[in-house]
Amino acid sequence: MLFLKAMDDMVLITTPEPTSITDCYAALKFLHLYGVNASFKMVVNKSLSIKEGVNTYERFNQAVKQFLKCSIELLGTIEEDRCVSHSVNSQVPFILQYPKGSASQGIKNIVNQYATSSSTRNHSVGFVAKLKKLFLER
């Protein structure tokens, strides 16, 4: 748990499936109850469209705001893409084998979004310093 408390950012990954959303909410609730104060971000994987991914996030974030009294940022969506299973079968990363595929584009958009949001934030205390402080507080 100490490692989690030292994080600046935490990315939760879910799919639009109800069981995945429930598991993601349970994980967030656990982290929230145990005082993890990271900036929570969400990726919706295997959505049938960007719209479905955004709708999944919006419903999830509404529940988080209502019951946990916090908010989570949408980092991006990754659409369901047959190229991924083809790449698994050929044992080549899909982002290399199908760089223009929808899943690859989703990954690239997420990386760009995260790099932009992280670079604009000023982390006054680094991960190692936070971790050291948490261990010394015990």
The more confident residue out of 42 and 137 is 42
The more confident residue out of 108 and 131 is 108
Q: Decide if pLDDT at 127 tops 70.
A: no
Give the pLDDT confidence score for residue 131 in this predicted structure.
59
Give the pLDDT confidence score for residue 129 in this predicted structure.
67
pLDDT digits (tens, 9 = 90+) for 28-81: 999 999 888 888 999 999 999 999 999 999 999 999 999 999 999 999 999 999
Task: Assign 3-class secondary structure to the chain.
Answer: CHHHHCCCEEEEEECCCHHHHHHHHHHHHHHHHCCCCCEEEEEEEEECCHHHHHHHHHHHHHHHHHHHCCCCEEEEEEECCHHHHHHHHHCCCHHHHCCCCHHHHHHHHHHHHHHHHHHHCCCCCCHHHHHHHHHHHC
Give the pLDDT confidence score for residue 35 in this predicted structure.
87
Q: Decide if pLDDT at 119 tops 50.
A: no
